[in-house]
Structure 1
């Protein structure tokens, strides 16, 4: 009889232990019955490491709401920015970074908040399709690129010695190239529509504002073509001289050194149907001025995927 009691006690103890293990953590990943600041923070850390971004955000926000002056509050605010960014909530990441900068302008890690603002804007619109399918990001709306450039510029101006400055500088270079190439896309579009003055102005804008970008030779060619169509020989000759001097191997040059004004298909001459419909119903797809593969060694069809930001230390 005593043996049966002992066996029953062992079985009951095992059941209780099993039940306790299943209830060890609640749905937020917190130890059962523990709602301390440290419990919230440690749970959020585990969830960040396992890419459980929604739970991490929930616990980081709960930590700040319940312990706004605790020892983990400022770090939690920084990590909340990162969690929002990794969860593809870029607007929330930027808003959280702005809030941290406003509340802690002298914090030792405030440069990270500036960096994350730029990074969240940098990756705006680069979702699943853009990452895995060929997508030319230079033809997209440049609004987020301009915003990202401005945020990185703030970081460089305020914290030039920041650990994030080198990466920010590289991204700014990439963004300048992207913005310059966008202007060339627009110029090609204007050529297709027969708006030669608008096309030439886009080329001139690139030359004046985006020096040392791979779009410069195309911008000069746009000016040459545009001024030629507008019958402005002096401006055409000036642009042609600069293009020939600096980029003698530009593909629009013939073997004798003359410029091929038919290089851009469809730029010379418009049909009656084109004039009447503004080109809206013509199916031709002009080649356009686009020599990225020749003058930009980093260019790849489909764009480049931005690397992940460094983890918080």
Structure 2
């Protein structure tokens, strides 16, 4: 009997010690977060993503879990996994609208929407939208604008404001090129429409002087006297030192020549297609 009791006691002790050993192996949220940070620091992004996901699964609530979502978004952004990054950012903004890093989340959202590479973060130079959806560019602009409006004192706000201006200029330039193309081929209604879009949709862009001059030249070609006078007045009032008013009033060829643009007209078939 004593032998049986002794054996049972030994087994119980072994089970207790084994349980303590298992519990000792369970990492705290802080330890899991630190481990993920180490992986991120050595650029082992796959391991870092796994570690952050495990942290969220083990400790779904608390500051570490919240920060893990934002860190995951940044990692996906670094890897060029923009859809995953956007999903994480949207989750973070929706679930933690009062988080102290909400300003960075909004800033990162704008960068992700632009599909902008981290190593050229300060060089937003897209002259066309081959790699940038126009809709995404507008959404990025709105994200940067929202940051500037809701977090005016954020350290990210100056950069966000500058990028918002760059987006407006890029969108305007895209429209302006089309307007110039229409002017070149003699599609004056199209040129007038596109140039008007530049001035109305993006009133603070840097290309308004040229856009207004295209409007003047188009109206001169269409021979619409009253609107032409109004357009000339608008051009000269907004840009008192402009050198484009006189050539624009002479018509498309004179304006294109003053801008250094080609003046070869398209054939009738091309004009009809445009």
Residue 261 of structure 1 corresponds to which residue in structure 2? 252
Determine which structure has greater relative contact order: mean sequence separation of CA pairs < 8 Å that are 6+ residues apart, divided by chain length.
1
User: Counterpart of 2:112 in 1: which secondary structure?
Assistant: helix
Count of aligned pairs between the two proteins: 239
Q: Relative to structure 1, is the Cα distance of residues 55 and 229 closer, same or farther in structure 2, using a 3 angstrom cutoff?
A: farther
Distance change in 2, residues 1:43/1:197 (3 Å) = same
Distance 2:244 2:39 in 1: 54
- Following superposition, the deviation at residue 43 of structure 1 comes to 2.6
- Structure 2: distance between partners of 1:227 and 1:267: 20
Report if aligned partners of 2:184, 2:264 keep a CA contact under 8 Å in 1.
no
On the 8 A contact 1:180/1:213 being kept in 2, the answer is: yes
Q: Does 1:154 align with 2:143?
A: no
Question: Following the alignment from structure 1 to structure 2, what is the Cα–Cα distance between the partners of residues 222 and 48?
Answer: 52
2:225 paired residue number = 233
Matched, 1:54 2:46: yes
Gaps of at least 5 residues in structure 1 are 1-32, 281-313
Structure ranking higher in helix proportion: 2
Shift of 1:208: 2.7
Deviation string, structure 1 residues 37-83 (Cα, Å, up to 9, x no partner): 44432232123223333332222122112221255211111211211
Structure 1 position 175 matched with structure 2 position 164: no
CA shift, 1:251, in A, is 5.9
> Are the aligned partners of 1:253 and 1:260 in contact in 2 as well (CA < 8 Å)?
no
The answer to which of 243-252 and 81-90 deviates more is: 243-252
SS in 1 for 2:137: helix
* TM-score for both structures, normalised by structure 2: 0.73
In 2, Cα distance between the equivalents of 1:47 and 1:199? 54
Query: Could you tell me which residue of structure 1 aligns to residue 58 of structure 2?
Result: 66
Q: Distance in 1 between matches of 2:34 and 2:180?
A: 54
Distance change >3 Å, CA 268–CA 165, structure 1 → 2 = closer
* Alignment-derived partner of residue 203 in structure 1: 195
In the other structure, the counterpart of 1:185 is 177
SS of 2:33's partner is helix
